[in-house]
Amino acid sequence: MNNPFLSFTIKAILLLAIVFSIHIVVLKVINQPLFENKIGLSYIINLALIIIVFGVLYIFKNKYKSQLGFLFLAGSFLKFTVFFIVFYPFFKEDNHISKLEFAAFFIPYVFGLILETFSLSKWLNNLE
C-alpha cells in the first residue's frame, strides 16, 4: 500500500477492533458489565483521534517537517483534553475512578499511541 495515511487508518481500525474484542472477552471472563464505563465511546474517540493526529501530521509533513514532533505532542495533549472533557466528569461522578473506568479509556489510548508512535517512526524514517 503506497499511501501511509490509508495504511495507518486500516491498521488502526483493525488493531483497536481486536483490542476491543479482547477487552470485552476479558470483562466477560471476570464477570463484569461488558459495555459500561463508556467503553464503546472510548474506543471510537481514541480511534478517531489517532487517525486525525496522524492525518494532520501527514498533511503537514513537508511544510512543517522540523516541527512534526511538536505536532505529535500537541495531538497527545488533544487526547488528554478530550479525556478530561468527555470521560473524566462521568468517571468522577462517584468521586472515585475505578480500575474498570480507567481501563476503558487507557487501554485503547495506549494501543493507539503505540501504533501511532511506531507508524510515525517508520514513516518519518522513510521521508529522509
**pLDDT tens for residues 48-107?**
999 999 998 888 877 877 777 788 888 888 888 988 888 777 777 778 777 888 888 889
Q: What pLDDT shows up at residue 20? A: 96
pTM of the model: 0.85
**Residue 114: pLDDT over 70:** yes
pLDDT in tens, 8-42: 999 999 999 999 999 999 999 988 878 777 888 89
Give residue 1's pLDDT: 55
Residue 122, amino acid: K
Can you give the residue ranges of every domain in the chain? Answer: 4-127
C-alpha–C-alpha distance, residues 3 and 78, integer Å: 25
Q: In this structure, is the dihedral angle defined by the CA atoms of residues 21, 26, 29 and 30, taken in order, positive or negative?
A: negative
